[in-house]
Amino acid sequence: RKEVEQDPGPFNVPEGATVAFNCTYSNSASQSFFWYRQDCRKEPKLLMSVYSSGNEDGRFTAQLNRASQYISLLIRDSKLSDSATYLCVVYNYGQNFVFGPGTRLSVLP
């Protein structure tokens, strides 16, 4: 089993739709969690950190469920510019950052 798993997609959604991604991790001692987005042929860019109580940044909401060891990302009112690959990242102290394989999103006009 991979340490961080994501549904590879692709998710094809119309503009304005709400879409949710899930990510599961295997190390129960994982400490920090992030969502990155990566556009085609570009570098990964931090989208948001994920806090235990959940957090929101505009149209984006991140949730963490430590008991079930999963992280989610919700995108509301999706825009064409949201089309990208979304990477789930888990940090384990003393080890390192582990990237998931990514979920590809295409927002269609």
Residue 34 found at the interface with other proteins (CB under 8 A): yes
Residues 76-105 that bind other proteins (CB under 8 A): 87, 89, 91, 93-97, 99, 101-102
Which parts of 1-109 are beta strand (E)? 4-6, 11-14, 19-25, 32-38, 44-50, 55-57, 60-65, 70-75, 84-91, 97-99, 103-108
CA dihedral 39, 45, 51, 57 (to 10 degrees): -70
Residue 9 found at the interface with other proteins (CB under 8 A): no
Residue 51 found at the interface with other proteins (CB under 8 A): no
**Beta-carbon neighbour count of residue 107 at 10 Å?**
20
Number of chain positions touching other proteins (CB under 8 A): 20
Residue 46 found at the interface with other proteins (CB under 8 A): yes
Q: Which of 7, 44, 70, 106 binds other proteins (CB under 8 A)?
A: 44
Binding site for other proteins (CB under 8 A): 31-32, 34, 42-46, 49, 87, 89, 91, 93-97, 99, 101-102
